[in-house]
Amino acid sequence: MDILQRFSKYIQFETTSCEASQETPSSACQLELARYLKTELEHIGVPKVILDDYGIVYGWLPASPGHEKCHALGLIAHMDTSPAASGRNVQLHIIENYDGEDVTLPSGVKLSTADFPHLKTLAGRTLLTTDGTTLMGADDKAGIAEIVTAIETVISEKIPHGPLCIAFTPDEEVGRGADHFNVDKFGADFAYTVDGGPENELSCETFNAASAHIHIHGVSVHPGDARDIMVNAALVACELAGMLPASETPRYTQGYEGFYHLDSVHGDVSEAAMSYIIRDHDRKRFEQRKQVLKDIAESLNKKYGQNTVTLVLEDSYYNMKEIIDQHPHLMENAKAVMESLGLEPCLLPVRGGTDGSRLSFMGLPCPNLGTGGYAYHGPMEHITKEGMEMASRVVLGLIETYGKESL
């Protein structure tokens, strides 16, 4: 099965994760793909594959004879797709020998070079899109296809390798992909997640991340008798939002710039609730951002009365660069493999997180590789067959590299 056939099969599985769910995995549909992947890994010759109680697929390929003392290399991708857009009934739209110009998808949605200038660099390739009504799922089913294709090549072509550990996780998109990951059972010395953008992308930096849950308790009385009594919770929510720097939202930030993102808000006079996510690559600035919210809550409580505003802050993950920097070979080897394939490595900070963000702090150093995909989480998501093929070659190159390095 070639990589396009494999990818096409995977995206037919609806695997949207659900942030509100307390189950693991957060949506039962993810288990359908998990079961399929377990069977597929067994079919291509991976001798030990399990699907655990948390919906994680693990596979292990013992080292080739004579390579038992090589480092155990892990390869990880996630099965779920973002709840930001529908992942049901994905219709793959294939454009062979793409001309590098604007594309109008079957639904009428336009994929334009004005919005996505990189489209011009994809001319001559086989461009894959949706019909414009759903996301595609390249994030991260392309990563799964690239790993499975590389493993199949290793087995079929008898390429010498060290111990290989494979894992496909649920619920990465809702921040819970590593919640039940068993690092000791996995057995890798280090790993790569395959969950990034263009095929030459290589990342060892993610945001530091936290969530802020804010509850505002108002005082509701008849508006005709409200002077010095009413506390309008909805207006306090607006006031709180206005006290944060307007330029430090996702719309106005890029690169290493952090932000406050108002994820949801609802309420009335009596009660209001707000959810923010806080992001920054720099750990000191990250802590300062959390303190800003604490100070705002304290200020509003002084103004309107104690316990008007309650704030709960929860750290989600930290910048994995703190850990990856202790293992420089991970970046050096990945860069060398890319360069050997004619790629110019693009080292960009991830403006988000990966399973590797948490796994690195759990004892499994884990940089992130590109999949070849673009415009994730929405109906303009796209990728090329050639990008996936190259990303899979990068994975294969790392398998070969670590198959030559002994402990």
40, 80, 146, 248: which is the annotated catalytic residue?
A: 80
1: buried, middle or exposed (CB in 10 Å: 19+, 13-18, 0-12)?
A: middle
| 165 contacts 74 by C-beta, under 8 angstroms | yes
Catalytic residue status for 172 = yes
If we measure between CA atoms, which residue out of 191, 135, 213 comes closest to residue 368?
A: 191
Catalytic residue status for 184 = no
Report the chain's terminal Cα–Cα distance, integer Å: 34
Strands (E), 171-258: 190-196, 201-203, 208-217
SS (H, E, C) 44-80: HCCCEEEECCCCCEEEEECCCCCCCCECCEEEEEECC
| 401 contacts 336 by C-beta, under 8 angstroms | yes
DSSP state of 150: H
Q: How crowded is residue 381: how many other Cβ atoms within 10 Å of its Cβ? A: 25
Per the omega criterion (within 30 degrees of 0), is the bond before 25 cis? yes
If we measure between CA atoms, which residue out of 393, 366, 23, 337 comes closest to residue 167?
A: 366
Token duo for residue 99? 């001309």
- Non-local (6+) Cβ contacts of 10 within 8 A are 33, 137, 141, 144, 145
| 191 contacts 366 by C-beta, under 8 angstroms | yes
Token duo for residue 85? 């857009």
Q: Residue 314, SS3?
A: strand
14, 140, 171, 172: which is the annotated catalytic residue?
A: 172
Which positions are catalytic? 80, 172
